[in-house]
């Protein structure tokens, strides 16, 4: 494994007592306003107006594309994604036809300003599509959008190692993907059985090796802590194996057990769930082991090698956060295709319908399948900027905010600054007239800090729908 200088790791401090005191339900801020605040009053025609606004603005920015493939062969009990569980491959063929029609509609809409620098395929399981179907899809996307060269564009796909072969990984690289993300969750067999995702370690390693051999620019591994049957010892073993595979990025998500919302989670035995203290011990272990292995703490659940594009973007102030997590393309408008997909164009968000029948019906009417969304007010845009700064760079410049928006920061945010005093006393933030800085101790709890600036949380937000901040 290539040595990485530990000195490159920015400081993040674990304080279990403080986390126990302050952890609460709250948004993950992949958008602001968050998706639960989107309105059905925003529809297809509003989206058309947003794209028209991009044309009048001139000098179009590069685009980011997201394609949602909802199908999975079997259900993982922890999963909270919008998915369709089926072994009937004909359903994917039908969906692919409609997805290609939506891509064409979006391509026509963005004609002349369709330069793409980022592509992400998520789900579900994108590799549920056959190799031939994926080839057709990628060729179709390139027919309607102009992609930046491989060495500058970021083209990623989520892969379930159980569904792909070594040969398929090489084919994905030839089809244009240069970043690959593997769902692992946990290597422990008992944990895998408890969440209905049995995934032999040897198969996962073979796919990682294949990605290296195929010259993927980045290999990312997803883990989850807080799953049934997990403990500190099993997590230690999993982390050792993951570090040995030398991924460029590691995401370690806190499992949000919300069985009242997500039906598959009802199959998990409450008796198998780790205690809150055990979850915190696992988190502390993850931070300690990954820092010791030389990974930078990016924020939230993400770690990356110091020379990875995410870490570089963070150091250069270019890091961004969107519906796929952290991103290096801060200025890109996000065009999203597929059932339930969420996009961000100009000062708007839009989400597609969530069922296949509704999706097909609207495309048959030659309408983009937009179900809901929101148009950002100046206040929304301002607060989104603040939350982005805190989530991505752990600080904000008051002067920069006042230059970008017509506000006197101390006056406009007087109530928020007052609430921040409590967090400052707890050691999470440092507040001065010119800067708001998240401390190393506060970085793990940056969601709590961002919630101070969320004006919707006091306006009927359904807090039980959110996961715990830690």
Higher pLDDT, 45 or 327: 45
**1-33+378-470 against 36-336: fold identical:** no
List pLDDT tens digits, range 266-309.
999 999 999 989 999 999 999 999 999 999 999 988 999 999 99
User: For the residues 459-463, what does the mean pLDDT come to?
Assistant: 52
pLDDT at 10 over 60: no
Q: What is the pLDDT of residue 3?
A: 37
Mean pLDDT of the chain: 91
Percent of the chain scoring above 90 in pLDDT = 78
CATH superfamily of 36-336: tm_1862 like domain (3.80.30.20)
Please give the CATH number for the structural domain made up of 1-33+378-470.
1.10.10.920
pLDDT at 466 over 80: no
Q: Give the residue extent of every domain in the chain.
A: 1-33+378-470, 36-336
Provide the annotated binding site. Answer: 66, 72, 76, 78-80, 123-125, 158, 185, 197, 222, 256, 342
Q: What is the pLDDT of residue 462?
A: 53
Both tokens assigned to 254: 């806190």
pLDDT at 212 over 70: yes
User: For the residues 385-392, what does the mean pLDDT come to?
Assistant: 94
Q: Considering the entire predicted model, what is its pTM?
A: 0.92
Provide the annotated binding site for [4Fe-4S] cluster. Answer: 72, 76, 79
Provide the annotated binding site for S-adenosyl-L-methionine. Answer: 66, 78-80, 123-125, 158, 185, 197, 222, 256, 342
């Amino acid at each position: 494994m290539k040595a990485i200088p530990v000195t490159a790791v920015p400081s993040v401090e674990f304080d279990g007592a403080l986390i126990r005191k302050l952890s609460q339900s709250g948004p993950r801020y992949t958008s602001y306003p968050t998706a639960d605040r989107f309105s059905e009053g925003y529809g297809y025609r509003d989206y058309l107006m947003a794209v028209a606004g991009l044309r009048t603005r001139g000098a179009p920015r590069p685009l980011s594309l997201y394609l949602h493939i909802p199908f999975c062969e079997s259900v993982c009990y922890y999963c909270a994604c919008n998915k369709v569980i089926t072994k009937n491959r004909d359903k994917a063929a039908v969906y692919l036809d409609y997805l290609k029609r939506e891509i064409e509609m979006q391509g026509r809409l963005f004609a002349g300003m369709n330069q793409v620098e980022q592509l992400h395929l998520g789900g579900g399981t994108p590799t549920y599509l056959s190799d031939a179907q994926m080839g057709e899809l990628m060729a179709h996307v390139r027919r309607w959008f102009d992609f930046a060269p491989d060495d500058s564009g970021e083209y990623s796909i989520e892969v379930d190692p159980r569904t792909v072969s070594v040969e398929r990984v090489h084919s994905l690289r030839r089809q244009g993907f240069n970043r690959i993300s593997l769902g692992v969750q946990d290597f422990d067999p008992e944990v895998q059985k408890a969440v209905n995702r049995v995934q032999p370690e040897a198969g996962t390693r073979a796919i990682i090796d294949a990605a290296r051999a195929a010259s993927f620019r980045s290999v990312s591994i997803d883990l989850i802590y807080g799953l049934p049957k997990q403990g500190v010892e099993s997590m230690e073993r999993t982390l050792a194996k993951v570090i040995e595979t030398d991924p460029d990025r590691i995401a370690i998500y806190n499992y949000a057990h919300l069985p009242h919302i997500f039906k598959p989670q009802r199959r998990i035995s409450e008796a198998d769930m780790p205690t809150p203290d055990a979850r915190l011990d696992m988190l502390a272990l993850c931070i300690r082991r990954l820092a010791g292995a030389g990974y930078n703490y990016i924020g939230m659940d993400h770690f990356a090698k110091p020379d990875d594009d995410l870490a570089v973007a963070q150091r250069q102030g270019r890091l961004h956060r969107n519906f796929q997590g952290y991103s290096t393309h801060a200025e890109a408008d996000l065009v999203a295709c597929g059932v339930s997909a969420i996009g961000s164009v100009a000062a708007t968000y839009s989400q597609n319908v969530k069922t296949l029948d509704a999706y097909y019906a609207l495309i048959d009417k030659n309408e983009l399948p937009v179900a809901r969304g929101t148009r950002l007010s100046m206040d929304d845009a301002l607060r989104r900027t603040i939350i982005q700064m805190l989530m991505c760079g752990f600080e904000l410049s008051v002067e920069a905010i006042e230059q970008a928006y017509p506000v006197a920061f101390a006056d406009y945010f007087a109530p928020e600054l007052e609430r921040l005093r409590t967090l400052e006393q707890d050691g999470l933030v440092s507040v001065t007239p010119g800067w708001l800085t998240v401390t190393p101790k506060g970085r793990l709890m940056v969601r709590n800090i961002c919630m101070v600036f969320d004006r919707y949380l006091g306006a009927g937000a359904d807090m039980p729908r959110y996961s715990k901040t830690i």
